[in-house]
Chains A and B, each alone.
Chain A
Amino acid sequence: MIEVKDIYKTFGEHEVLSGITADFKPGKNNLIIGSSGSGKTTLLKCIVGLHEPTNGEVLYNKENFTALKFEARVPIRKQIGMLFQNSALFDSMTVEENIIFPLNLFTDMSKSEKTDRANFCLKRVNLEGKNRLFPSELSGGMKKRVGIARAISMQPKYLFVDEPNSGLDPKTAILIDELIAELTEEYQTTTVVVTHDMNSVMGIGDNIIFLHNGQKWWEGTNKEIAHTDNKELNSFVFASKFMLAARGKL
Chain B
Amino acid sequence: MFQSLGRYILLLRLSFRKPEKLSVYRAEILREMVSQGIGSLGIICIISVFIGAVAAIQVAFQLVSPLVPRAVVGSISRDSTILEFSPTISALVLSGRIGSSIASQIGTMRVTEQIDALEIMGVNAPGYLISPKIISGISMIPLLVIISVILGLTGGYIACLLSRDIAPADFVAGLQNGFNTVTVTVCAVKAVTFGFIITSVCSYFGFYTSGGALEVGQSATKGVVFSCIWILFADLVISSLLL
Question: Real complex partners, A and B?
Answer: yes
Residues of A within 8 A of B (CB): 48-50, 70, 73-75, 77-78, 80, 82, 84-86, 88-91, 101-102, 104-106, 154, 160
| B167 at interface by CB-CB < 8 Å | no
CB neighbours (8 Å) of B93 from chain A are none
CA distance A101 to B122 in the complex (A): 12
Cross-chain contact of B116 among A73, A88, A102 (Cβ < 8 A): A88
Structural contact, A86 and B112, CB atoms closer than 8 A: yes
Whether the Cβ atoms of B114 and A90 lie closer than 8 Å is yes
Between-chain CB contacts (< 8 Å), 18 pairs: A70-B124, A75-B122, A77-B119, A77-B120, A84-B113, A84-B117, A88-B117, A89-B114, A90-B114, A91-B108, A91-B109, A91-B112, A101-B121, A102-B123, A105-B24, A106-B21, A154-B121, A160-B120
Q: Which residues of B contact A70 (CB under 8 A)?
A: 124
Asked if B20 is at the interface of the complex by the 8 Å CB criterion, the answer is yes
Query: What total count of A-B pairs have CB within 8 Å?
Result: 56
Q: Is the CB of A48 within 8 A of B21?
A: no
Q: A48-B120, A50-B120, A82-B120 are in contact. Are A105 and B21 (CB under 8 A)?
A: yes
Assembled-state Cα–Cα distance A164/B117 (Å): 15
Q: Contacts A104-B21, A105-B20, A105-B21 hold; do A77 and B122 have CB atoms under 8 A apart?
A: yes
| Whole-angstrom distance between the Cβ of A102 and the nearest chain B Cβ | 5
B residues near A89, Cβ cutoff 8 Å:
114
- Contact partner, A50, options B21, B109, B119, Cβ 8 Å: B119
Say how far B40's CB is from chain A's closest CB, in angstroms: 18
- Is B122 touching A73 in the complex (CB atoms < 8 A)? yes
**What 1/0 mask marks residues of chain B from 143 to 182 whose CB sits below 8 Å from any chain A CB?**
0000000000000000000000000000000000000000
Given A105-B21, A106-B20, are A77 and B114 also a contact pair (CB < 8 Å)? Answer: no
Contacts of B117 in A (CB 8 A): 82, 84, 88, 90
| Chain B 92-112 near chain A by CB (<8 Å), digits 1 or 0 | 000000000000000011001
Compute how far the CA of A48 lies from the CA of B117 in the bound complex, rounded to whole angstroms.
11
| Shortest Cβ gap from B139 to chain A (Å) | 21
CA distance A75 to B121 in the complex (A): 10
Residues of chain A within 8 A (CB-CB) of B24 are 104-105
A78/B122 in contact, CB under 8 A: yes
Nearest chain B CB to A73 CB, angstrom units: 7
Nearest-CB residue, chain B, relative to A150: B117
Closest 10 CB pairs of A and B: A77-B122, A88-B113, A74-B122, A88-B117, A84-B113, A82-B120, A105-B20, A102-B121, A88-B114, A105-B21
Choose from A73, A74, A85, A102 the contact partner of B113 (Cβ within 8 Å): A85
Chain B contact residues: helix, strand, loop or mixed: helix
Task: List 20 additional A-B contacts (Cβ < 8 Å) besides A49-B120, A80-B120, A160-B120.
Answer: A50-B120, A70-B124, A74-B122, A75-B122, A77-B121, A77-B122, A82-B117, A86-B112, A86-B113, A88-B114, A88-B117, A90-B114, A91-B109, A101-B121, A105-B24, A106-B20, A106-B21, A106-B121, A106-B122, A154-B121
> Closest residue of chain A to B113, judged by CB?
A88
- Give CA–CA (A77, B114) in the complex, Å: 16
- CA separation between A160 and B109, bound complex, in Å? 20
Q: How far is the CA of A177 from the CA of B113 in the complex (A)?
A: 21
Q: Which of B20, B117, B124 has the most CB of A within 10 A?
A: B117
Contacts of A105 in B (CB 8 A): 20-21, 24, 121, 123
Contact residues of B between 60 and 118, Cβ < 8 Å to A: 108-109, 112-114, 116-117
User: Who on chain B is nearest to A80 by CB?
Assistant: B120
| Residues of A close to B109: CB separation below 8 A | 90-91
B residues in contact with A104, CB < 8 Å: 21, 24
- B116 near A84 with CB under 8 A, answer yes
**B-side contacts of A50, CB under 8 Å:** 116, 119-120
User: Please, which residues of chain B bring their CB within 8 A of the CB of A101?
Assistant: 121
In the assembled complex, the CB of B136 is this many whole angstroms from the nearest CB of chain A, namely 15
Contacts of A48 in B (CB 8 A): 120
Residues from chain A with Cβ under 8 Å of B121 in the complex: 77-78, 80, 101-102, 105-106, 154
Question: B116 — which chain A residues lie within 8 A by C-beta?
Answer: 50, 84, 88
In the bound complex, CA of A57 to CA of B222 (Å): 38
**Nearest Cβ on chain B to A3's Cβ, whole angstroms:** 19
B:116-143 near A, CB below 8 Å: 116-117, 119-124
Chain A nearest CB, measured from B11 CB (Å): 14
With A104-B24, A105-B24 as known contacts, state yes or no: A88 contacts B112, CB within 8 Å: yes
Q: Give the residue name and chain of the B residue nearest to A153 (CB).
A: B121
